[in-house]
Chains A and B, each alone.
Chain A
Amino acid sequence: MPTSTHHVVLGNGIAGNHAADVIRKRDPNSRITIISAGALLFYNRYDLPNVFRGRHQWVDYLVHPPEYYESQNITLRRKTRVVELEPQAQTLSLAHRETLHYDKLLIATGGHAYIPARLLDDVGLMHSFHNFRVAMQVQSAVRKNGTVIMLGGDVMGLDLARTIIATGHRVIVALDNRTFWPHEIAQSERARYLQALESMGLDVRDHGKVDHIEAGNSKGPARQVFFEDGSEIRGDVVMPFFGLVPTVDFLATSGIDMERGILVNPQLQTARDNIWAAGDVCQIWSATSNAYRFYYGYRNVKMMGEVAAYNMTGEQSPFESTVDEALEVTSKGLLHSPFWEYDQRG
């Protein structure tokens, strides 16, 4: 009896889910498994700032209802962590000591918040915003009209800042050389961009590097940030927004080529057979730049999922970037990025 191809997708984000959707359309009889470290079905992480607008039910963020997975015959394995990939055997070792065989593998594990080494000791005093659970924790930690301290201020952070300010809170951005990440703003333009941040209502501070973070006392704000220049900022939460680093820990012994992310050709295939990568985890060869480079933004990520799915099912299509990476100051002096115009249902 012929067996169907087992497509395994690592990652429960836009790239992975869009890829699974496309694979199902192109190969109705295949077996599709999505592996996720999280507990929830695929939900819209870009919408998470709405926890500040009172959307506190995770169900409201779901992109697909539970029935979708059954109707598409997609197996979603949540709270499942991959600890090792063996390309030769075409197997994944899962943390709960199960070995899973794949025929074709898509790595779309995304990225996680980059924390500068000097701040690693203070991780416990900072709040991230990468999933629903921590988003809810941030929301409940910020008092009414309270203050959020953003360290760095990448585009995800600045997007969140827009909502936090709109809901009556204060946002202090402590500038860093990764402010505006992944965009690199020319020094000549920087002042104009910073002015745009202030026009958006952000309190922009340039104190240099953070020295350390302390918990506040019970009467005042919960956090105090101390800078090397001796200054201090107080707020309810401290959030690091220094950009992303790819989640590739489990690939250490896999033999897959990596730089900061997984290196793939324009068809998103790795150097190993039957393994592709998509989304924030991969660096794609750019003949134009003559280098491997990252592409960010939901449109790019979604497109990568689609391209990978096509190529996993027999095509050889190259990835072509979209316009997500633009960051501009509008005629009204406000900052704008296509990155923020997300609608995964579209």
Chain B
Amino acid sequence: MAKQTDIQISICGSAGDGTIAVGDIFKRAMARAGYRVIAFDHYPAEIRGFGKCISRTRISNNQVYSMKSYSDVLVSLNDLHAIPHVGEVRDYGAIIYDSAPMSAVAEGAHISGHLMPGHLPYALPIRELSELATGANRSRNIVALGFIAGLYQLPQQAFHQAIAAKFEAKAPAVADTALAAFDSGFKSGSSTYKFDDVQVGRPRARKNGGEVRMMTGNGAIAHGCLEAGIETFFGYPITPATGIMERLAVEMPRRGGRLVQTEDEIAAISATIGAGYAGARAATATSGPGLALMAEMLGLGVMAEVPAVVFVSQRGGPSTGMPTKTEQSDLNLAVWGGHGDAGRIVLAPTNVEGCRRCAARAFEMAEKFQVPVIVLIDLYLSNRYETVFLQGEDNFLPKNWQRVGSSAPGDNYRRYELTADGLSPRCVPGEAGGIHTATGLEHDEYGRPNDNPDVHSLMSEKRHEKLRDAMKYRGINFTKRFGDKGKIDVGLLAWGSTFGEALEAVLLAREEGIRCAAMKVVMISPLPSRPILRFCNDCQQVLVPELNYTGQFANLVSGELGRPVVRVNHATGAPMDINYLLTAIRNAAKKKLRSKTTTSNPTKA
């Protein structure tokens, strides 16, 4: 019987130890070997210094949906940083550390004194091996990587290829040194008796062909933009969204696109709306603070009915907050932010593949519904790596966006014509007969400023009613239910990056005999009320887990549906903890339906 692989390896070190770099090699090697990979790196906000870095990678030969609560293996490249994370390793998991540190350590400062009794220690002279193999101690990280590969009999060749790829832009000696360090660690690992019960089976052969890529959420968004034929991008750097712009800055010029780094976020959204008005596929990317600055211009996009795509990656807030920590606390701003009744489409993908698909579909939807579309992710999804299987069957390129509605330019052209579905004929500047006014002022069907009460009422209705059809747009599952069918004890309604943890918790709860299911909600605005209500009606209790303090999505759902939900909030700057959710599910399964909205804190249960 084939071994089941589902292991999570954490590598912890200080900035400068090469922690993230070696984690990157590990995940790419594993993806190259055919495993499914999810990975998430933790790094300090400070650019320089000796802050803590952790690279966590989960590999499996089956589909998995999130990081695990507990790691199977922890590698310490810096004991002071790693010691607080010892408790994250499960019983009979492994802890690998340096038995020959460079300098004397204070009493209690070595990780060997902090292992739990259930852990299996591997004391490896990492520094010495690095010095022996390369003449320097700089390759400690690669030695440790080699040890992991040797101990767990991972395919050496896949690592060699990943290392070569990692350093291909540098002098050949750099890759040679890294390979020597890796082989030294590999040899040591291969000859070490494995006491832990970490099992690594062969990767499962994929049924369908297609290309396998390791992507972050940011990378997938950039990929989706390119697949959709993005023509212009305007952006101002901000963590954790910058990666989108960095990727597009490399790729867009090669494809005839244009990317401009603007002076601030206001300029970025202004230019994006301008380009959208001119008919280009245009986007910008930012985080919560940037979105706050963009709020006014988003209102212009709504009022003038201009397509634009805004990618928003949330981080800990408010204000500058925690730039390198994750949070889902900009939902209110994304859905409601701005002045006036400025309805817009908000999509929240739940995984990396979803980022790609939502990014590409966002352009279509912005054009179809003539409105800014916000794609809302968070740092956890922005920076999370996953294996993505590109099938090559999707076509996100522009299709018939120019002609929507009943009248054509030149025929008494009314850019804001009131139609049954609220969608008006759109033309771009320069098109013959398409002269119209686009303004932030309320306007009539021609675009001429008009504050007549009836006009404002009709136009408000038009701007909102047209979005109803957005819920029927094909190409994205705006909601999807997983787990038990029919009536259930507990249902989890989850959005964004948290859905992966929610589904993993549901799968564990089902193993315990709890009847439960999870529904992912990808379309946040307008909210697909019907399927959500159907789901809620099947549930004795509905839990809404999210990474914020107030339960912004829970407020949205209970306000829209008039139905009580249980909030499961987690506002620590870290991703949702599966065990935290599992505890909440167990608690909910024991209780009867509550009569009013309450707040759940599983740790106090």
Bound form: Cα–Cα A68–B105 in Å: 29
Whether B195 contacts A40 by the Cβ 8 Å rule is yes
B256 interface residue (CB < 8 Å to A): no
A99-136 interface bits toward B, Cβ cutoff 8 Å, 1 = contact, 0 = none: 11100000000000000000000000000000001001
Whether B110 contacts A79 by the Cβ 8 Å rule is no
Whether B101 contacts A66 by the Cβ 8 Å rule is no
A77 interface residue (CB < 8 Å to B): yes
- Describe B's contact surface by its main secondary structure: loop
* Chain B neighbourhood of A323, CB < 8 A: none
Question: In the complex where A39-B121, A41-B117, A80-B112 touch, is A96 in contact with B107 (Cβ < 8 A)?
Answer: no
* Chain B neighbourhood of A99, CB < 8 A: 104, 107
- Describe A's contact surface by its main secondary structure: mixed
B66-108 interface bits toward A, Cβ cutoff 8 Å, 1 = contact, 0 = none: 0000000000000000000000000110000011110111110
B165 interface residue (CB < 8 Å to A): no
Whether A96 contacts B121 by the Cβ 8 Å rule is no
Chain B min CB distance to A138 (Å): 13
Which of the residues A40, A68, A80, A97 comes within 8 Å of B101, measured between beta carbons? Answer: A97
Whether B117 contacts A76 by the Cβ 8 Å rule is yes
Whether B112 contacts A58 by the Cβ 8 Å rule is no
Given contacts A79-B122, A98-B110, 17 further A-B contacts (CB under 8 A): A39-B195, A40-B195, A66-B116, A68-B117, A70-B116, A76-B117, A78-B115, A78-B121, A80-B112, A80-B123, A94-B110, A96-B105, A98-B106, A98-B113, A99-B104, A133-B195, A136-B193
B475 interface residue (CB < 8 Å to A): no
Bound form: Cα–Cα A94–B99 in Å: 10
Whether A66 contacts B195 by the Cβ 8 Å rule is no
Task: Please classify how large the interface on chain B is, using the bins under 10, 10 to 19, 20 to 34, 35 or more.
Answer: 20 to 34
Whether A98 contacts B193 by the Cβ 8 Å rule is no
Whether B99 contacts A70 by the Cβ 8 Å rule is no
A191 interface residue (CB < 8 Å to B): no
A277-300 interface with B by 8 A CB criterion: none
Residues of A within 8 A of B (CB): 39-41, 58-59, 66-70, 75-80, 94-101, 133, 136
Whether A98 contacts B116 by the Cβ 8 Å rule is no
* Chain A neighbourhood of B121, CB < 8 A: 39, 78-79
Which of the residues A41, A58, A96 comes within 8 Å of B99, measured between beta carbons? Answer: A96
Bound form: Cα–Cα A95–B128 in Å: 13
B410 interface residue (CB < 8 Å to A): no
Bound form: Cα–Cα A58–B197 in Å: 11
Residue among A41, A70, A77 having the largest count of chain B Cβ atoms under 10 Å: A77
Whether B107 contacts A79 by the Cβ 8 Å rule is no
Whether B123 contacts A79 by the Cβ 8 Å rule is yes
* Chain B neighbourhood of A94, CB < 8 A: 110
B120 interface residue (CB < 8 Å to A): yes
The 10 closest A-B pairs by CB, nearest first: A66-B117, A79-B123, A66-B118, A69-B117, A79-B121, A133-B193, A97-B104, A98-B110, A98-B105, A78-B121
* Chain B neighbourhood of A136, CB < 8 A: 193
Chain A min CB distance to B200 (Å): 18
